[in-house]
A and B are shown apart, each in its own frame.
Chain A
């Protein structure tokens, strides 16, 4: 699905990613863990094409296409989805309208017709039910006045609606209580299938109790220092990040 080779990236003049190699196959869920400032979120944002970061070295192929050559909107249309750590507010923009514009742009990219308002209503209703989000939220301005948990759930709603090939969750668990965490995890578990892939970026192991990854990678100072199965996350939780840093 996605193949990352020697990826190096800067923000302004500071190097954050110092050579990342990572392959995620269809049907897999990978987790990236690491201490604060290790470059986890940077990796997520560089894959999505956030303009503040500049890639200095390496390649990212996504379904046999070079992702780094694409504009961020084209990456999204090709099927890369980022659930944001801090979803931004768009004052006055109705969630419904925003979601339809997003869904339509992806459909048009895939050679399909835009949704009619009625079709979209139906589709959105199904997704809202699936992620157990308050149906009133889609009538409000997107993320405006949403609680922290509502914002994160709204990201999961968008993932469910847009049905990407690769979903990247950037610390989606931060700031969530246990009930919200379960809802987010259910959303991801319902989403995952043989044809798509998920990359979970997290600081804590607890989300991985609910979303069981196929592989866990530990990122320290811009490099993956260790990879393993789900047991690696538990070991990290027990021993702390100093354990891998010491290597």
Chain B
């Protein structure tokens, strides 16, 4: 499919194609470079945290320190060793010890920066139907629609604020789904997490609007470690969105987040992600290392947790949004589109751990590889002895664009109950010359044709996203594919 003609048509510098690549021009208060107990104490002090939280962070740090050289090597990704002492672990762009109390105190440069990202945080311009928590580097700078949510009894704020105002809730659930000892990056995050979002939906409440967190890395050489915690009490419902971008930088940036979800009896959490961290340039220089642990516990009977992700950014993606299906009849879902281009690498998938009776999980993963990129689906379906009548359906489809890229599927299945039913389907296909020519012959240009075919391949997943997010996802796909004709 590659013709020399089409390559020269798109030989522009990729850096200019990542339109979120600007820097917000502000001074940030940085903690000194490097990681040690002092830094952990500094972060905790800066955030005015209770002793129990500092103690938890220190336990995590000591655990991490013991395994510092044993970072996981099983993923199908390659990158130079990270020097953890050469990073900043805390950057506060608001540079006040407690963060801004109202929007008037937020630096106009920051507001303008978020406007440019299409995430207005000023009251008069706020997005209709979406409450936004805007997180810049390590700190939440603003949360919209808080008053309206409060009337419903819903808490939506930064996790730092939650630690101050709702310490009992945080203490009860933090680390309850992803303990600090879970894995290398989750452990690192537990020691140094700086901010993130917190949502609590009380019993019987259906959250009337979408909740959204928008993450933005701005500072150079700054690791970003957010921590998100969402709790849905009995009979409640929430749809939560997450978006992320970062400036164009020559150096790679580390992002190691943890997300924990808890759904109690009959509760439902729908979690959607558009991950668009800076992917690095055409030659694979720079870009975000996205090492993220996301896990939900469908703890209650009939509870449901649904992950939908569209991953187009990051130099390296390492994430497996998972569901522990503990409550009887609980449901776990994972819908994913992972697109890699140029020299991007993605090793992503899910884990569905069936514990309760008649639990049901669905996995639909679509991987698209273009350029020289490598895409791996890695997934575990585990049926415990107690999970009588459990069911899983897994579908993994890979699409290759060009002949320099790779697609890999690594499914793990462990079944310890004979009544379980599992289905697994997998396909690998290429955008065929016939398909492309069919479009061209109708007057549709190369790039649009490619986009149309790939968008069609992802249709089932985009349908799982809230409408506006689906439009954005589709747009993101288009931008990420620019210059991949071939």
Interface segment among A15-23, A26-34, A86-94, A129-137: the answer is A86-94
* A76 lies within 8 A of B441 (CB): yes
B57 to chain A: closest CB distance in Å?
46
Contact with A along B310-345 (1 / 0, CB 8 A): 000000000000000000000000000000000000
Residues of A within 8 A of B448 (CB): 101, 105
Residues of A within 8 A of B438 (CB): 84, 87-88, 90
Q: Is B443 engaged at the interface, CB distance under 8 Å to the other chain?
A: yes
* A73 lies within 8 A of B460 (CB): no
Q: Which of B413-449 contact A (CB under 8 A)?
A: 432-435, 437-446, 448
- Residue of A48, A51, A81, A158 near B433 (CB, 8 A) is A51
Residues of A within 8 A of B446 (CB): 73
* A109 lies within 8 A of B443 (CB): yes
Residues of A within 8 A of B434 (CB): 86, 88
Contact with B along A147-172 (1 / 0, CB 8 A): 00000000000100010000000000
Residue in chain A with minimal CB distance to B5: A71
Q: Is A7 engaged at the interface, CB distance under 8 Å to the other chain?
A: no
Q: Is A72 engaged at the interface, CB distance under 8 Å to the other chain?
A: yes
Decide: A98 near B442, CB < 8 A? Known: A72-B437, A88-B434. Answer: yes
Q: Is B459 engaged at the interface, CB distance under 8 Å to the other chain?
A: yes
Give Cα A106 to B448, complex, Å.
Answer: 14
Decide: A92 near B458, CB < 8 A? Known: A98-B452, A101-B452. Answer: yes
Residues of A within 8 A of B455 (CB): 92-93
Q: Which of A194-237 contact B (CB under 8 A)?
A: none
Give Cα A98 to B439, complex, Å.
Answer: 8
Q: Is A102 engaged at the interface, CB distance under 8 Å to the other chain?
A: yes
Residue in chain B with minimal CB distance to A93: B456
- Residue of B433, B443, B456 near A162 (CB, 8 A) is B443
* A72 lies within 8 A of B441 (CB): yes
Q: Is B453 engaged at the interface, CB distance under 8 Å to the other chain?
A: yes
* B444 lies within 8 A of A92 (CB): no
Q: How many residues of B contact A (CB 8 A)?
A: 25
A204 to chain B: closest CB distance in Å?
24
Residue in chain A with minimal CB distance to B456: A92
Give Cα A97 to B453, complex, Å.
Answer: 11
* A48 lies within 8 A of B441 (CB): yes
Residues of A within 8 A of B5 (CB): 71
B451 to chain A: closest CB distance in Å?
10
Residues of A within 8 A of B459 (CB): 92
Q: Is B393 engaged at the interface, CB distance under 8 Å to the other chain?
A: no
Decide: A72 near B440, CB < 8 A? Known: A51-B3, A52-B433, A92-B459. Answer: yes
Residues of A within 8 A of B439 (CB): 90, 98, 102
Q: How many residues of A contact B (CB 8 A)?
A: 32
Decide: A101 near B437, CB < 8 A? Known: A88-B432, A90-B452, A91-B457. Answer: no
Q: How many inter-chain contacts with C-beta < 8 Å in the A-B complex?
A: 78
Give Cα A141 to B452, complex, Å.
Answer: 12
Residues of B within 8 A of A87 (CB): 438
Q: Is A82 engaged at the interface, CB distance under 8 Å to the other chain?
A: yes
Residues of A within 8 A of B452 (CB): 90, 93, 97-98, 101
Q: Is A192 engaged at the interface, CB distance under 8 Å to the other chain?
A: no
Residues of B within 8 A of A162 (CB): 442-443
Decide: A106 near B457, CB < 8 A? Known: A87-B438, A90-B438. Answer: no
* B437 lies within 8 A of A50 (CB): yes
* A76 lies within 8 A of B456 (CB): no
Give Cα A162 to B443, complex, Å.
Answer: 10
- Residue of B3, B445, B458 near A105 (CB, 8 A) is B445
Give Cα A52 to B437, complex, Å.
Answer: 10
* A91 lies within 8 A of B445 (CB): no
Decide: A76 near B443, CB < 8 A? Known: A52-B433, A92-B457, A141-B456. Answer: yes
Contact with B along A171-203 (1 / 0, CB 8 A): 000000000000000000000000000000000
* A71 lies within 8 A of B441 (CB): no
Residue in B5, B438, B446, B457 whose Cβ sees the most chain A Cβ within 10 Å: B438
Give Cα A88 to B440, complex, Å.
Answer: 12
Decide: A102 near B437, CB < 8 A? Known: A92-B456, A93-B455. Answer: no
Binding site for A on B (CB under 8 A): 3, 5, 432-435, 437-446, 448, 452-453, 455-460
Please name 17 pairs of A and B residues whose Cβ atoms are closer than 8 Å in the assembled complex, sorted by A: A49-B440, A51-B433, A72-B437, A73-B441, A73-B445, A73-B446, A82-B441, A84-B438, A87-B438, A88-B432, A93-B455, A98-B442, A101-B444, A102-B444, A105-B442, A106-B443, A141-B456
Beyond A72-B437, A102-B443, A105-B444, 16 additional contacts (C-beta under 8 Å) are A48-B441, A51-B3, A71-B5, A71-B440, A72-B440, A76-B440, A86-B434, A90-B452, A91-B456, A92-B460, A93-B455, A94-B456, A105-B442, A106-B443, A109-B443, A162-B442
